[in-house]
């Protein structure tokens, strides 16, 4: 530490900085500012914390501290190799800190790229010895063209498509990296870059970045139909110099109605005005396809990706290029909502209903909700797109906060909606999970030279192993959950904590050796299909089969080329991939949600099924959907059959109003866990008491209810007992008012044995 804390003879006023750190303790920490340091809000600094040195972000500078000056430590250094985070991004962090009741340092430091969070020197003045490689435009084309067996080359190109990488990073990924690089260089697919100019060489890797007037921007855009045009006009009107600038839209368009074209046309206008566009998409697996789409539509503009699957360097480079205003379009997953964009002109949130916009660990923010706040702050339009909008968003439309734009027709005229029919599982047997009716329908489809998609909402081979003698099923030792049987790796795996175990040879209760799998997962359905169609090309898509970066993309690419007859998989298949010869969708088992305790389960199931049904018959060929179920009459299935999501929503809203659930109330959930059940109970008891006394003191308007503590759906996870306490309020304001005082009180409760977090607007309860 430099000896700079309080040098003798320093000016009478000692400057103090309030600094946010990535710790769940106080909102900010006070540090002395040494005279020689230039410190302003938004600056990243390195400070001593306990025995460590950590990166913090300056939230405010002033002369006041509640802590005696002699107890304060001094800032060690300022990260001068990085511009300060802008005032409007700091304001966004402040908003999140206040709304989600989390320390601002936790929000800010988790939003910035990992490289900036580390106390190590930044690579923007990279040494000459650090050589980098980037993809060429020929390389981008080659990704599509490469045969399936060149999977290594393909995966390298896909990796580089997100931005240039250091050669050393490639060496870590592949043993024979230099030979591979040589071959790729000779093919003209990659080029060496001057790493010392890394952030701007991002442009060099993207040969079309020289910003020429975008005359050919829309060259490959189809002529928009009436509804699309009306939507675009409404959106870009907000960009008029005279207009207010902010407006939130719901783009409510059935699958295949051409929402993407509406986004692209609106983005084109934003770019023409010299502004930046921020596009959020739900899943990493979707990003590369969408990214390529946008890149080919706007060849003269720099596009920066932002998602957690990128290398640290690529994320840093993308962040810097957005911050400097070099990147015109940022496309990414939920974390991208915090990308600095000085000329922000529009925000698009595709598939706004998707649960992955909610961060489920650390600070539990909703990227969609933060995006709406950000647009109102930046005075720019925001477009939330979906075929199956969330009930909250529909409620915002009903209250006049959002404007609804509707696309009723499929964009490709001949593409009719698929016909939906059912197989009643009470009437027909499903050995290995698939009925004969399903097999026949798939057979007819592929015999016509078309493709089939089979959807199952569970991965693994079978949800459990069961003993034929006594019914025993192996459970995870650390969670209150059954172990899932994965046949590929011949092991049991816990889907909650990741624990693995060998297959037991005999029953843990009665020692019988008659153990067999029960229920179905994607692996087992794949097996059953392989047995039924031994000569067909079948590919499985789920989190297990696509662990390697780019492998999901590779499967989708070969499906698009017609190299696959049957795609089988989990909800990864339900999203935005458009296969022109996919005419049949089979749903083998989705009934689980019918029994769920979570009031949102039916909504999620309706969305998932409507999405997956939308995969059938998107181009000239008519589509067909076949659903195996035991509950044909259930409203969710009936809504899917009549393509009437609105009918499902009306029914759900009536139920929510009766039960006083969102959107008719506001929820917050205190989530707690501990290894010590007694400590957990006493903490929750105290929390409940505090909630009641806080209520009495602070909420004039009443309308706030404290529920009884209950065990979480998953009672035990990784050795921790889990419980939760629900709070419910009539208005957002009374909830916020209550949480502010209550959380303050909670922080002073001794809770060393307990981990707790307050989840504002929880999505799974
Ligand atoms: P969504 O995102 O609403 O499900 P997409 O944007 O993927 O729908 O569009 C579905 C298909 O329709 C795509 O193949 C797209 O190229 C095509 N398409 C969209 N708009 C038009 C249009 N105006 N004219 C012709 N084809 C269009
Ligand atoms: Zn047994
Ligand atoms: Zn477990």
DSSP string, 246-295: -EEEEEEE-TTS-HHHHHHHHHHHHHHTT-EEEEE-S-TTTHHHHHHHHH
Distance 388 CA to ligand 1 centre (A): 17
Tokens describing residue 475: 């459970």
Q: 178: Cβ–Cβ under 8 A, 6 or more apart, which residues? A: 171
Distance 491 CA to ligand 3 centre (A): 14
What is the CB neighbour count within 10 angstroms for residue 168?
Answer: 14
Nearest protein Cα to ligand 1, atom 21: 411
Distance 717 CA to ligand 3 centre (A): 6
| Rounded CA separation 760/335 (Å) | 18
| Rounded CA separation 313/260 (Å) | 29
Distance 575 CA to ligand 1 centre (A): 15
Nearest protein Cα to ligand 1, atom 24: 222
DSSP state of 483: P
Distance 459 CA to ligand 2 centre (A): 25
| Rounded CA separation 284/281 (Å) | 8
Do residues 419 and 276 lie in contact, with contact meaning Cβ atoms separated by under 8 Å?
no
SS3 297: helix
Q: What is the pLDDT of residue 1?
A: 43
CB-side neighbour CA atoms (13 Å) of 479 = 18
Is the bond into 663 cis (omega within 30 degrees of 0)? Answer: yes
Q: What is the CA radius of gyration of the chain?
A: 27
DSSP code string of 442-456:
HHHHHHTT-EEEEEE
SS3 624: strand
Distance 147 CA to ligand 1 centre (A): 28
Q: What is the pLDDT of residue 552?
A: 79
| Rounded CA separation 563/540 (Å) | 13
CA distances to 133, 272, 336, 395 from 209, rounded to whole Å, are 17, 15, 21, 41
Position in ligand 1 atom list of the atom nearest CA 350: 2
| Rounded CA separation 532/572 (Å) | 24
SS3 99: helix
Q: What is the pLDDT of residue 422?
A: 95
Q: Is the pTM of this model over 0.85?
A: no
Position in ligand 1 atom list of the atom nearest CA 580: 14
Q: 394: Cβ–Cβ under 8 A, 6 or more apart, which residues? A: 250, 649
DSSP state of 411: S
DSSP code string of 114-169:
HHHHSSSPPGGG--TTS-EEEE-HHHHHHHHHS-TT-HHHHHHHHHHTTS-EEHHH
Nearest protein Cα to ligand 1, atom 15: 258
Ligand nearest to the CA of 472: 2
| Rounded CA separation 269/277 (Å) | 10
Nearest protein Cα to ligand 1, atom 16: 258
What residues line ligand 1, using a CB cutoff of 6 Å? 222-225, 228, 253, 255-261, 411-412, 578
Nearest protein Cα to ligand 1, atom 20: 258
Residues of the chain with confidence (pLDDT) below 70:
1-13, 122-131, 168, 171-172, 175, 193-219, 284-289, 413-415, 549, 575-577, 595, 618-619, 698-702
64 burial class (0-12, 13-18, 19+ CB within 10 angstroms)?
A: exposed
Which of 225, 261, 612 has most ligand 1 atoms within 8 Å of CB, for mutation? 261
Which of 281, 411, 619 has most ligand 1 atoms within 8 Å of CB, for mutation? 411
Position in ligand 1 atom list of the atom nearest CA 253: 3
Query: Which residues are in the CB-under-5-Å shell of ion ligand 2?
Result: 467, 469-470, 472, 507, 509-510, 512
Q: What is the pLDDT of residue 168?
A: 67
Do residues 539 and 582 lie in contact, with contact meaning Cβ atoms separated by under 8 Å?
no
Per the listing, tokens 């339900």 go with 574
Ligand nearest to the CA of 483: 3
Q: 587: Cβ–Cβ under 8 A, 6 or more apart, which residues? A: 455, 456, 609, 612, 625, 626, 627, 628, 629
Distance 496 CA to ligand 3 centre (A): 5
Tokens describing residue 703: 């309308």
């Amino acid at each position: 530490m430099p000896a700079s804390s309080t040098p003798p003879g320093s000016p009478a006023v000692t400057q103090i900085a309030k600094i946010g750190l990535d710790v769940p303790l106080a909102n900010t920490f006070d540090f002395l500012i040494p005279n020689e340091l230039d410190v302003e809000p938004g600056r990243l600094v390195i400070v001593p914390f306990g025995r460590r040195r950590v990166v913090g972000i300056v939230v405010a500078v002033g002369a006041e501290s509640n802590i005696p000056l002699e107890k304060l430590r001094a800032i060690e250094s300022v990260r001068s190799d990085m511009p300060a985070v802008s005032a409007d991004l700091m304001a966004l962090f402040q908003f999140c800190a206040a709304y989600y009741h989390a320390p601002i340092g936790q929000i800010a430091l988790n939003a910035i790229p990992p490289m900036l969070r580390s106390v190590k020197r930044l690579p923007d003045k990279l040494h000459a010895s650090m050589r980098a490689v980037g993809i060429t435009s020929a390389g981008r084309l080659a990704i599509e063209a490469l045969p399936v067996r060149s999977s290594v080359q393909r995966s390298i190109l896909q990796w580089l498509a997100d931005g240039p990488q250091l050669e050393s990073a490639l060496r870590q990924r592949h043993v024979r990296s230099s030979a591979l690089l040589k071959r790729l260089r000779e093919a003209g697919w990659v080029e060496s870059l001057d790493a010392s100019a890394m952030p701007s060489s991002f442009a060099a890797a993207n040969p079309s970045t020289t910003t020429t007037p975008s005359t050919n921007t829309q060259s490959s855009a189809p002529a928009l139909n009436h509804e699309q045009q009306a939507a675009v006009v409404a959106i870009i009107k907000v960009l008029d110099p005279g207009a207010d600038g902010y407006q939130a839209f719901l783009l409510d368009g059935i699958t295949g109605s051409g929402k993407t074209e509406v986004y692209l046309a609106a983005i084109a206008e934003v770019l023409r005005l010299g502004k930046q566009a921020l596009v959020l998409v739900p899943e990493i697996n979707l990003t590369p396809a969408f990214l390529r789409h946008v890149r080919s539509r706007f060849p003269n503009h720099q596009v920066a990706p932002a998602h957690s699957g990128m290398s640290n360097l690529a994320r840093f480079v993308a962040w810097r290029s957005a911050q400097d205003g070099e990147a015109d379009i940022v496309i990414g997953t939920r974390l991208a909502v915090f990308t600095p964009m000085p000329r922000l002109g529009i925000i698009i949130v595709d598939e706004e209903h998707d649960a992955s916009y909610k961060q489920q660990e650390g600070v539990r923010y909703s990227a969609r909700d933060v995006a709406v706040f950000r647009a109102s702050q930046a005075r720019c339009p925001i477009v939330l797109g979906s075929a199956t909008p969330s009930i909250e968003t529909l409620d915002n439309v009903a209250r006049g906060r959002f404007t609804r734009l509707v696309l009723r027709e499929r964009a490709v005229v001949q593409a009719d909606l698929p016909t939906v029919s059912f197989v009643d599982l009470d009437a027909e047997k499903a050995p290995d999970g698939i009925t004969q009716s399903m097999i026949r329908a798939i057979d007819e489809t592929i015999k016509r030279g078309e493709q089939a998609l089979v959807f199952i909402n569970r991965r693994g081979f079978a949800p459990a192993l069961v003993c034929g003698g006594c019914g025993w099923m192996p459970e995870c030792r650390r969670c209150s959950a059954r172990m899932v049987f994965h046949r590929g790796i011949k092991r049991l795996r816990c889907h909650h904590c990741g624990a693995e175990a060998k297959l037991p040879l005999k029953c843990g209760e009665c020692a019988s050796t008659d153990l067999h799998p029960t229920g179905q997962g994607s692996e087992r359905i794949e097996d059953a299909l392989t047995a039924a169609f031994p000569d067909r090309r079948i590919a499985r898509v789920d989190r297990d089969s696509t662990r390697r970066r780019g492998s999901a993309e590779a499967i989708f690419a070969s499906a698009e080329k017609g190299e696959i007859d049957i795609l089988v998989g989990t909800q990864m298949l339900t999203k935005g991939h458009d296969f022109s010869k996919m005419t049949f969708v089979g749903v083998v088992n989705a009934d689980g949600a019918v029994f769920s305790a979570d009031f949102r389960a039916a909504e999620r199931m309706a969305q998932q099924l409507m999405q997956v049904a939308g995969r059938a018959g998107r181009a000239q060929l008519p589509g067909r959907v076949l659903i195996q179920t035991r509950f044909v009459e259930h409203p969710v299935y009936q809504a899917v059959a009549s393509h009437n999501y609105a009918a499902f929503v009306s029914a759900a809203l009536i139920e929510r109003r009766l039960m006083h659930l969102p959107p008719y109330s506001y929820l917050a959930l205190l989530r707690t866990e501990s290894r010590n059940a007694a400590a957990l109970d006493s903490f929750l008891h105290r929390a409940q008491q505090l909630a009641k006394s806080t209520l009495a003191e602070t909420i004039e308007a009443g309308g706030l209810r404290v529920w009884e503590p209950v065990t979480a759906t998953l009672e035990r996870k990784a050795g921790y007992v889990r419980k939760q306490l629900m709070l419910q309020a009539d208005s957002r304001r009374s909830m916020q008012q209550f949480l502010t005082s209550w959380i303050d009180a909670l922080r002073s409760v001794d809770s060393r044995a307990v981990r707790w977090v307050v989840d504002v607007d929880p999505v799974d309860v």
